Structure 1
Amino acid sequence: MASPLPVRDGVGATRLHLPMSGAWPTVGAFMSERFFHLDPEKLLARFDRGEIVASDGSAVPHATPLGVHEFVWYYREPPVERTIPFEVEVLHQDRDLVVVDKPHFLPTTPGGKYVQNSALVRLRKLLDLPELAPIHRLDRATAGLLMFATRPQSRGPYQFMFEKRKVEKVYEAVSAAPAGWDAAAPALDGRPFPVVFRNHIVKERGRVCVQVDAERDPNSETLIELIDSDDRVIHTLLRPHSGKMHQLRVHLAALGAGILNDSFYPELLPETPDDHSRPLQLLARELRFLDPITGEPREFTTRRTLQDAPRAR
């Protein structure tokens, strides 16, 4: 459903579904209860200023009875944000596709305490592309390759490509050398390289970490290869066959090689402010696919590196 409000400062308007009937006499009463954490006088003042609109863009008075409109749109009040001091780098841009190198700590899309400090909003403003939309996502903690569609007509074909696993994705990770690590006979959890690891990952609502269900058939798979190691760390190449949330982090942790600076796996640590000197050592390194619009083969490689990788010898 198209928004009647344009993108403003890189951020699209929010759509709210209204009940068609209920205990609330008016739209204003419903929204005051729905957003109980907001000052009701300030909320009603937004109605008076014409900031809450219907699908045709007309202002909705707060005294409007329920049932007149099924949806309203409005701009969220921007949070006070702490600037993330790392820039997103554009690697490729054409009529349909933008490919960037995302830094650690920068979220893909707006959410919570990060709006202007998201890759999407920064790129919409930088490239003057208000319709720019993500094709896939990276965790805020993960750096590397990220793709966006420049037009609504382009987004579907590229997203379908990811859904059908027609994209070859390659990652790098650095982990602390596991106990008993033997560089002469490298192995993870007793499994020599290359390691194919599978398990069943479940994302439960309300939990920040995914769970592993050992009783169910695997729904995730990663091929893990060794790039290098030293007396401190191991540097691995990861080829996920599936795309479950936090899959690479979960798989390496399960093999006794949790990724350096991971505050989620194998143990969820208390939330603390970002320490920019200790980024998660996970990098989206390569993307390869047959372009669904042009039919041409595409290949992109990150320019970033992992700071804790073994030094060249």
Structure 2
Amino acid sequence: MSTVRATHASHIVLPENVTDKPTVCSFLIGHFKQIDATVWQQRIMDGKVHWRDGRLITLDCTFVPRERVYYYREVAVEKKVPFAENVIYEDDNIMVAYKPHFLAVSPSGQFVNECLVNRLRIKTGIETLVTAHRLDRATAGLMLLSKRPEQRHLYHDLFKYANITKHYQAIARLTPELYQQHQQGELALPLHWTVKNKIVKGDPSFTMKIADGEANSHSEIELIGVKGEFGLFRLSPITGKTHQLRLHMHSLGMPLVNDRLYPTLLDRCDDNFKQPLQLLAQQLEFTDPVTGIEHKIATKALDIDALIDKTIEII
């Protein structure tokens, strides 16, 4: 099978509490159980595993607690995502970039080079770029990145402690009741919902579900435009649970167009680049914790006529 190697090395710190692994190789084999032992042996023999200072690790190198081991992830050849990222804002400390649909944020799973961080590091030459938060691969929109790893926690805390305001835009098919109101000229916009409920892990584990109990999620949702059977929504998550906006729209009876998880988990298949999830992280508002600058950064707002025309064609 043809494989591709990650452009940038990953690393792991050898733990202090391991006493039954005499060599680095035996530790890697035991720690990464999903990777066959022969793969690690071959990587080491091919010079793809090394210490922090660049010295190559051999099959009989002794396990040294607290030392860093660097290695290069390899996966089957990645399919190129045919959409471009771009930098919206940049200063000495941060970068805000637009991530297109289908592009992973960071190396994970079967994506090592086809991810936003890797593309931006290559494009800008800034090897220290790290993300301050997460965004689903299926979702497009704004990502905040830190240029200085030692400052990353400051920007991550904006999201952790809800000190940043996020606005999304989305398209969904209206409920029959809302569509009828629109047809009769009785639908006054904007129409607003406050959604609060408890979100927990689903089955399979990469999905989420709404459960009984005290709410741990909160979104403010507005219907701001209508064309035909479809609505354009402004979504403002107050909390940041995984798949929160997708679940909250589904709970209103209006799942997002081209959502492959909710309400029905569709069979795994290759990405259909003509059918992106209609969800966009459109605006970020925050006070920079380092400079004190007040930021209000946005991508181009969705064009409801053009986008819904296109959506109607492909669904």
Bin for the TM-score computed over the shorter chain: 0.7 to 0.9
Q: Which residue of 1 aligns with 2:164?
A: 167
Question: In structure 2, what is the Cα distance between the partners aligned to 1:55 and 1:94?
Answer: 30
| Alpha-carbon offset, residue 305 of structure 1 | 2.9
Question: In structure 2, what is the Cα distance between the partners aligned to 1:152 and 1:173?
Answer: 32
Q: Which residue of 2 aligns with 1:74?
A: 71
Question: In structure 1, what is the Cα distance between the partners aligned to 2:6 and 2:262?
Answer: 36
Question: In structure 2, what is the Cα distance between the partners aligned to 1:309 and 1:96?
Answer: 37
Alpha-carbon spacing, 1:231–1:272, altered in 2? closer, same or farther (3 Å)? same
Per mean C-alpha deviation after superposition, the further-off stretch among 227-236 and 46-55 is 46-55
| Alpha-carbon offset, residue 270 of structure 1 | 0.9
| Alpha-carbon offset, residue 163 of structure 1 | 1.3
- The one-letter amino acid paired with 2:205 is R
Q: Which residues of 2 match residues 46-85 of structure 1 at below 5 A?
A: 46-54=43-51, 57-64=54-61, 72-85=69-82
| Alpha-carbon offset, residue 67 of structure 1 | 6.3
Q: Which residues of 2 match residues 143-292 of structure 1 at below 5 A?
A: 143-181=140-178, 182-183=181-182, 184-186=185-187, 193-203=191-201, 207-214=205-212, 216-292=213-289
3-state SS, counterpart of residue 49 of structure 2: coil
Structure with higher helix content? 2
| Alpha-carbon offset, residue 16 of structure 1 | 5.9
- The one-letter amino acid paired with 1:209 is T
| Alpha-carbon offset, residue 17 of structure 1 | 4.1
| Alpha-carbon offset, residue 78 of structure 1 | 4.8
CA deviations over 1:155-212 (Å, ceiling 9, x no partner): 122111121111111111100121232224449xxxx931101101113696111121
| Alpha-carbon offset, residue 290 of structure 1 | 1.2
Q: 1:89 aligns with which of 65, 74, 86?
A: 86
Q: Which residue of 1 aligns with 2:12?
A: 15
Question: In structure 2, what is the Cα distance between the partners aligned to 1:87 and 1:61?
Answer: 40
| Alpha-carbon offset, residue 102 of structure 1 | 1.1
- The one-letter amino acid paired with 1:62 is L
Alpha-carbon spacing, 1:71–1:21, altered in 2? closer, same or farther (3 Å)? farther
Asked if the contact 2:255–2:262 (Cα under 8 Å) also holds between the matched residues in 1, the reply is yes
3-state SS, counterpart of residue 219 of structure 2: strand
Asked if the contact 1:203–1:245 (Cα under 8 Å) also holds between the matched residues in 2, the reply is no
Question: In structure 1, what is the Cα distance between the partners aligned to 2:32 and 2:160?
Answer: 35
| Alpha-carbon offset, residue 266 of structure 1 | 1.2
| Alpha-carbon offset, residue 238 of structure 1 | 0.8
| Alpha-carbon offset, residue 74 of structure 1 | 1.6
TM-score (norm 2): 0.84
3-state SS, counterpart of residue 233 of structure 2: strand
Alignment length, in residue pairs?
Answer: 298
3-state SS, counterpart of residue 74 of structure 2: coil
3-state SS, counterpart of residue 87 of structure 1: coil
1:130 equivalent to 2:119? Answer: no
TM-score (norm 1): 0.85
| Alpha-carbon offset, residue 221 of structure 1 | 0.8
